[in-house]
Structure 1
Amino acid sequence: MERSIVHMDLDTFFVSCVRLQNAALEGIPLIVGGGDRGVVASCSYEARRFGVHSAMPIKMALRLCPEARVVKGDMELFSRYSNTVSQIIEEKAPVMEKASIDEFYLDITGMDKFHGSYKWTSELSSLITHETGLPISFALSVNKTVSKIATGEGKPRGNLEIPQLMVRQFLNPLSIRKIPMVGDATFKLLSRIAIRNIQTLAEMPVNVLQEMIGKNGTELWKKANGIDNTPVEPYRERKSLSTEDTFHQDTTDLAFLRSVLSSMVEKLAYQLRSEGWLTSNVTVKIRYSNFDTETRQMALAYTSSDHVLTSAVLESFGKLYQRRMSLRLVGVRFGKLVRGSYQINLFEDTQEMMSLYQAMDRIKNRFGAGAVMRGSGMHQPKIR
């Protein structure tokens, strides 16, 4: 049976949420992001006409579009709207996968026996906009790759249906940049041998792509040919991330304990960014040598930045560890997680800090999580 896979994408989501809170921002060039040294998290179509785009330094964006209004992002607001949309879709769709804070995949295979699949999706899209005020685009096709590409081609508010017989016809003229797994490095590599559109890529011998790109060559070739058997994974929201260490010997060494906690934070923060999460709650746990266990929580603005989380954890630990007694265990937990498609906190971090985290994460992605770490976390705990 031919699959029916829907990709839904909330148009300029951060901008739309901000405008729902302040109607005076409608119709003007709008940038959502951090301060003067921050970057653009999202921008309105009015700002995009001037060349402004996501992840651009705000200073550069304002040079391109001096009349733009800059508004700081509010992850609590965005998370609330995202959860409302998730609930609406979950009530209607047989299977939903939440790909990010503003993207959803639906598997509605077989529903055309009872409703026209496109008509059903269009009605769901209208319901979301009616209930939330948020504009949304969608595309219906035979797999996740084609539906996602089609959503991008249909924006804003243009809804497409690409049946199996039209997949190659639809994909062929598009730039290879439209394929989700093609980044700047891959695009430059393929451009050197004149592969710039999807048809040329699809007609390449798959073994040549494997030699050029490695194991991802086969996957890229399949996507260029409109082949993607990846299932829509049912949505299950993660509530928290945590870790704890029990020592070989109980200790009162504050320098060692703070080093252990710093190392824990760095590893958990990298996991947050890798999985696309932000946290607004940290919990520190300690267990004394007599097995008394205590915890302390701290609320903070949504983030996945090591330096912010380390500061919060060490401050909590300092207030929690008051007894002159050895510790046998320490732990850290990040809670109240929200989905985000950004690898760092675009509303708080400066451009320089973002560049640092991106460089560190690239090294970790390639060589492993322990390939690079802060000096403050070099004292590694001995696990029992």
Structure 2
Amino acid sequence: MKRTIAHMDLDTFFVSCERLKHSELIGKPIIIGGGDRGVVASCSYEARFFGVRSAMPMKMALRLCPDAKVIRGDMELYSKMSKEVTEIITEKVPVLEKASVDEFYLDLSGMDKFFGCYQWTTEIAESVTKNTGLPISFALSTNKTVSKIGTGEAKPVGRLEIKEDLVKPFLNPLSIRKIPMVGNVTFQLLSRIGIRKIQTLSEMPVDVLQQLIGKNGAELWKKANGIDETPVVQYSERKSISTETTFSQDSIDVENMKSILSKMVEELCFQLRREQWLTSVVTVKIRYANFDTETKQVKIPYTAVDHTISSYVRELFKKLYTRRMRLRLIGIRFSGLVHGNHQMNLFEDTEELINLYQAMDRMKIRFGKNAVGRASGISG
């Protein structure tokens, strides 16, 4: 059966959410970010016109666009709106993958016999905008890579269908930067030897490409040729990651428990970032010496950073541990997971803090998860 994959992406998602609350922001350059020392979490197309981009230091962004309206950002609003959009799309498609807080893959293979896939996707997009007020773009093609690139070309508020025989003509003239797996390092490397267009990349021998960039060379060559067999993975908020510790002897040492919880948060958050997950539900579990087990959970804005989640864990543990009785076990679970990245926290963190997390993660990946850690406990 011929595959039909749609990619949908909410246009300037954070900015669009803010404009729903404040219509006077429509048409003006907007930067979502935190403080002079922070970085840009998102920006409007009007700000992009001046060269402002996500993850750019705020000072640089304001030099480029001094008249921009700077907004701190509302994580709770963005999380809420993301979930509303997810629910709308989930009701209308057989297989949905939530790729991040603002983008989705839809597997519509075989639906042409019942209803035109392009028309079906158009109606879904219209339903999203009608029910939430958020603008959304989409592209429809034979696989995830081509559809994602297509959505990028269709924005803002665009709709595009790239049929199988038009995939190569569509991809060939585009910059290799448009391929999702091409980052700055790969782009600079390939540019130095004159490979800047997707067509040039697609015509390279695979073995030469592998010698240049390593094991990902073959995968990159496939994407440049419009080949991608990656399946659309059904989205489920039931996925979770967790960890727990059973004490060798029942304990009443609260400070030690806080320290252990802090370590648990750090390890689970590292796992989230490494696997590109964000969590929206945090649960703390305790088991008393008499085997009574209690849990408390809280819904939170999507995040994957230690210091944000630690405050929720601290409050949950304080509310849970109310009996003057020894504990035999403590644990933490993150659920309501969605694929994403650090973007949801860009507007609350400083550039230095983001760089610190990235540096710590690199060390853990290279030398092991215990290579570096926080000196402080969870209390404070």
- Partner of 1:332 in structure 2? 332
- Cα distance change on mapping 1:159 and 1:320 into 2, 3 Å: closer
Counterpart CA distance in 2 for 1:239 and 1:253 is: 32
Question: Contact (CA 8 Å) 1:8, 1:139: kept in 2 or not?
Answer: yes
Q: Report what 2:38 is aligned to.
A: 38
- Per-residue displacement from partner, 1:244-281 (whole Å, max 9, x unpaired)? 11123334455543332221010111233344454566
Q: For residue 230 of structure 1, what is the aligned residue in structure 2?
A: 230
Equivalent residue number for residue 9 of structure 1: 9
Secondary structure, aligned partner of 2:211? helix
Comparing 141-150 with 286-295, greater Cα deviation is found at 286-295
* Change in CA separation of 1:38 and 1:238 when aligned onto 2, cut-off 3 Å: farther
**2:116 is matched with which residue?**
116
Separation in 2, partners of 1:344, 1:128? 21
Q: 2:79 touches 2:301 (CA, 8 Å); kept in 1? A: no
Q: How far apart are the structure 2 equivalents of 1:298 and 1:229?
A: 38
Structure 2 segments unaligned to the other structure (5+ residues): none
Q: Which moved more, 1:56-65 or 1:146-155?
A: 56-65
Pair 28,107 (structure 1): closer, same or farther in 2 beyond 3 Å? same
Q: Which amino acid aligns with 2:329?
A: L
Give, in angstroms, the shift of residue 99 of structure 1.
0.9
What TM-score results when the alignment is normalised by the length of structure 1?
0.88
Q: Is the 8 A contact 1:274 1:343 kept in 2?
A: no
Amino acid at match of 2:10: L
One-letter amino acid of the counterpart of residue 310, structure 2: T
- Give the whole-Å Cα distance in 2 for the aligned partners of 1:55 and 1:44: 14
1:240–1:76: structure 2 CA closer, same or farther, 3 Å change rule?
farther
Going from structure 1 to structure 2, the CA distance change for 1:3 and 1:317 (only over 3 Å counts) comes to closer
Letter in 1 for 2:22: N
Residues 113-172 of structure 1 show CA distances to partners (whole Å, capped at 9, x for unaligned) of 233322222232222222222111111111000010011011112222111111111111
Structure 1 residues 336-345 or 154-163, which shifts more?
336-345
Instruction: Assess if the C-alpha contact under 8 Å between 1:101 and 1:341 holds in 2.
Output: no
Residue matched to 1:167: 167
- Check the 8 A contact 2:11/2:136 in 1, yes or no: yes
Q: How does 1:64-213 map to 2 (within 5 A)?
A: 64-213=64-213
1 CA distance for matches of 2:321 and 2:175?
57
2:374 alignment counterpart? 374
Amino acid at match of 1:69: K
Q: Following the alignment from structure 2 to structure 1, what is the Cα–Cα distance between the partners of residues 271 and 133? A: 33
Distance 2:142 2:162 in 1: 8
What is the distance in 1 between the residues matched to 2:313 and 2:126?
Answer: 44
Partner of 2:248: 248
Number of aligned residues? 377
Alpha-carbon distance between aligned partners in 1 of 2:287 and 2:114, rounded to the nearest angstrom: 58
Whole-angstrom CA distance in 1 between matches of 2:127 and 2:297: 39
Higher mean alpha-carbon deviation, 360-369 vs 342-351, is at 360-369
Inter-CA distance 227–285: structure 2 relative to 1 (3 Å threshold) = same
After superposition, give the CA deviation of every residue in 1:331-383 in whole Å (9 maximum; x if it has no partner): 12345666644356123111110111122223334554344323457xxxxxx
CA offset at residue 314 of structure 1? 4.3
In structure 2, the CA distance between the partners of 1:47 and 1:7, relative to structure 1 (3 Å rule), is same
Cα deviation, residue 22, structure 1:
1.0
What is the alpha-carbon distance in structure 2 between the residues aligned to residue 338 and residue 225 of structure 1?
29
Say which SS state the counterpart of residue 9 (structure 1) adopts: strand
> How many angstroms apart in 2 are the aligned matches of 1:327 and 1:50?
58
Residues 1:50 and 2:30 are matched in the alignment: no
Letter in 2 for 1:129: T
Write the mapping of 1:252-263 to structure 2, written as runs, cut at 5 A: 252-254=252-254, 256-263=256-263
Q: 1:103–1:336: structure 2 CA closer, same or farther, 3 Å change rule?
A: closer
- Aligned CA distance change for structure 1 residues 113 and 360 (closer, same or farther; 3 Å): same
Q: Which moved more, 1:136-145 or 1:229-238?
A: 229-238
Q: Deviations over 1:174-230 (max 9, x none)?
A: 111111111112212222322222112111211222223222111111111111011
Amino acid corresponding to residue 248 of structure 1 in structure 2: S
Deviates most, 118-127 or 95-104: 118-127
Please tell me whether the aligned partners of residues 33 and 347 of structure 1 are also in contact (alpha carbons under 8 angstroms). Answer: yes
Shift of 1:19: 0.4
1:328: Cα distance to partner? 2.0
Instruction: Measure, in 1, the Cα distance between the counterparts of 2:164 and 2:42.
Output: 33
SS of residue matched to 2:204: coil
Instruction: Compare 79-88 and 65-74 and name the one that shifted more.
Output: 79-88
Q: Which stretch of structure 1 is more off in the superposition, 286-295 or 157-166?
A: 286-295
Give the unaligned 5+ runs of structure 1: 378-384
Q: Which residue of 2 aligns with 1:285?
A: 285
Partner of 1:381: none
Question: Are residues 158 and 292 of structure 1, via their aligned partners in 2, closer, same or farther at CA, if it must alter by over 3 Å?
Answer: closer
Offset of residue 237 of structure 1: 1.7
Matches of 1:146 and 1:10, distance apart in 2: 17
How many Å separate the matches in 1 of 2:147 and 2:113? 21
Map Cα deviations across residues 277-314 of structure 1 (whole Å, 9 max, x no partner).
Answer: 54566443333333344455567665432123334434
Over the residues paired in the alignment, what is the CA RMSD in angstroms? 2.6
Quote the Cα distance in structure 2 between the aligned partners of 1:131 and 1:205: 48
CA distance in 1 between partners of 2:142 and 2:327 (Å): 56
Q: Output the amino acid matched with 2:306.
A: D
| Residues 141, 352 of structure 1: alpha-carbon distance in 2 compared, 3 angstrom cutoff | same
- Equivalent residue for 1:382? none
